[in-house]
Structures are given as C-alpha cells and as structure tokens.
Amino acid sequence: MLPKHANEKRNASAVRRKFTSGTYSDHMVLLKAFQAWQKACTEGWERGWCERNYISGAAMEMIHGMRSQVLAQLRGAGFVRARGPGDIRDVNSNSDNWAMVKAALVSGMYPNLIRVDRDQSQLRTQKESKVRLHPTSSLLDMGSSGGVNTSLASAHRSLVASLQSDWLVYDEMVRIGVVAHVRTVTLVSPLTVLLMAGPMRLPLDALSEPSSHNSGDCSSDSESEERPVGLSCLVRIDSWIQFLGDPQAAHLALQLRHKLHALVLRRLRAPNKPLTQADEDVVRVMGAALGQEEQSLNMIQPAGVGQRPRPLYPHSHPHG
C-alpha cells in the first residue's frame, strides 16, 4: 500500500526501517512483514495491523497461498519427504542462517546483480552503467537521515557510502523516465556471488593471472583492486563478474563452488536420494564460510529468519 501524504510516507519509511533489521534487504522487509502479519492474524487484529503498517492484507494472503503451492510442488517432486531424512525439518536446517538464504537468492536471481562503483558513488548492472534504487526500497530508508527534506539523491549517496559490500541482488528492473530503477534489493557478500552466481560449470580459464587482462574491466571489490598484482589472481565467473584475490583463497573458493554445484546437479537428477556425509560436509563448510565472511564485513545476522510459518485458520483470515 502506497501512502499519499507526507506524514504517512514518513511513517511507512519508519515501518520499512524497522522490518529491515539493519540488513540492507528488501527481502528481509517482506519476510519480517509476513511473519508479523501472521502473528496479527493469530491474535485477531490483522486488519488494523495492515492499516497501521501500510501493508495489503490481500497481498499477504496471496503470499501465504503461494508458499503452500510451492511446498506442495517440492513434495510432489521428491525434494521434501513426509518424514525422516529430507523431511521439512531436515531441509530447513539452514533456514535460520541469513547468509545461506541470501546464497539461494543469488543463485535463483542470477544474472540480476548490482555492483557498487565506489569511485562514482553509483550502482551498475551488467547492461546498465547507472541504476537507482526504486523510491520504495528500504535501503534508501537506511541511507536517509529521516529528515523531511532528505532528497532521494542524497539518500542514495549516503547509502552507497554505507554499504559493507560491493554486491547486491535484485528482483526486477523498471524504468521511471530514462532512469533504470531496481526493486526488491538485498546486499550480499562477494563470496556469495563467487560461489552462487554464474553458470553451473565455469570455463577452464576461470582462474588466471590478472596481468594478462585489462584491469579496468575487472568487476572485483574496490578493496581487492588495491592489492599488488603479483600477489593476486583473477577469477572470472562470467564476462562481467570478476574478482581479484589471493591465489590460495581463490583456489579453495573454486573448489568449494565445484563441489557445491556438483551436489546441486545430483539433487536435481535424483531428488529422492538422501545426502551423503560428504554432501552434508559441503553444505556445512559453505554455511560456515559465508557466515565468517559476513561477520568480517559487519553484516547483520538477524534473529528469527527461519521462523516456521504459523497455520492460518478460516476465522483468522483478513476481512475486506
């Protein structure tokens, strides 16, 4: 629901800021809003809650229905079993790990990635040299001081300066006039992009010496670009996503990526086959590595991400 008046817009901004939990994530806003809506439904005041938080109850009901449909399809395909290994509790063992959830977002939304250009204080995509966040993005609320006279341009500059990583994932791109705007955006770590973005199989020259390439084309993190060339190697995920880094760390990351993507392919071919101990080790190492990277970047791990959705009964559905 889009508020019309200035005071309502400020209130809606405060609501988004609350739901984002400091994560620089519109996806987190959607998740926290859905969880709060479900709680309001069980308490019987969902209509008033929606009005207070500028949220459409019909949209929340639609999300709840779609979740049930997706779960039914996963069960039908054999990815979620009724009981035992592979049941809903087992497959959700990492659902409370926000870093792992974002890894799934990057994999599912590729190639919808944004890179931060620190020098120009701009956001870029593979096809657009300059994009802006949609005015309704919660990230702009975090970049804003909250004042009534804060402009979108000022909030955008402040946001770019505050981002802990040079990579974001987005859901869709729309044009407002001649400017491309991205909607439903989440900040992700460089390691998440390296492990989850790109094709399932990387080319043989994915890892090389940077001296043989034009460093101006490299889309690595700004900090990495300052490393001495002699101590770095170039990792190419695709024609646009590239990283400069320590050779040993790059080799280890690519090995983990290879094992992870091989695991995904095996699961797609035989979803009913349970994970082996080696498979579980790959997932465990991935979760630990992503968590450590986010901790080193001071990225927030919010509580309650994997909270189990509450059952809704006919008497608790929103009215009107």
Closest CA to 13 of 123, 145, 131: 145
pLDDT value at 3 more than 70: no
Alpha-carbon gap, residue 56 to 205, rounded angstroms? 49
> For 30-81, what is each residue's pLDDT tens digit?
999 999 999 999 999 999 999 999 999 999 999 999 999 999 999 999 999 9
- Pairing mode, if any, of strands 131-133 and 179-188? parallel
> For 73-126, what is each residue's pLDDT tens digit?
999 999 999 888 889 999 999 999 999 999 999 999 999 999 999 999 999 999
What tokens appear for 273 in the block?
Answer: 């086959």
> For 127-149, what is each residue's pLDDT tens digit?
999 999 998 899 998 866 555 45
Side-chain half-sphere exposure of 141, counting CA atoms within 13 A: 23
Q: Quick one: pLDDT band at residue 312, thresholds 50, 70, 90?
A: low
Q: What is the mean pLDDT of the chain?
A: 88
> For 201-242, what is each residue's pLDDT tens digit?
998 889 998 655 444 444 455 444 455 555 689 999 999 999
Alpha-carbon gap, residue 153 to 131, rounded angstroms? 12
pTM for the whole thing?
0.88
Give domain limits for the chain: 6-77+110-188, 191-296
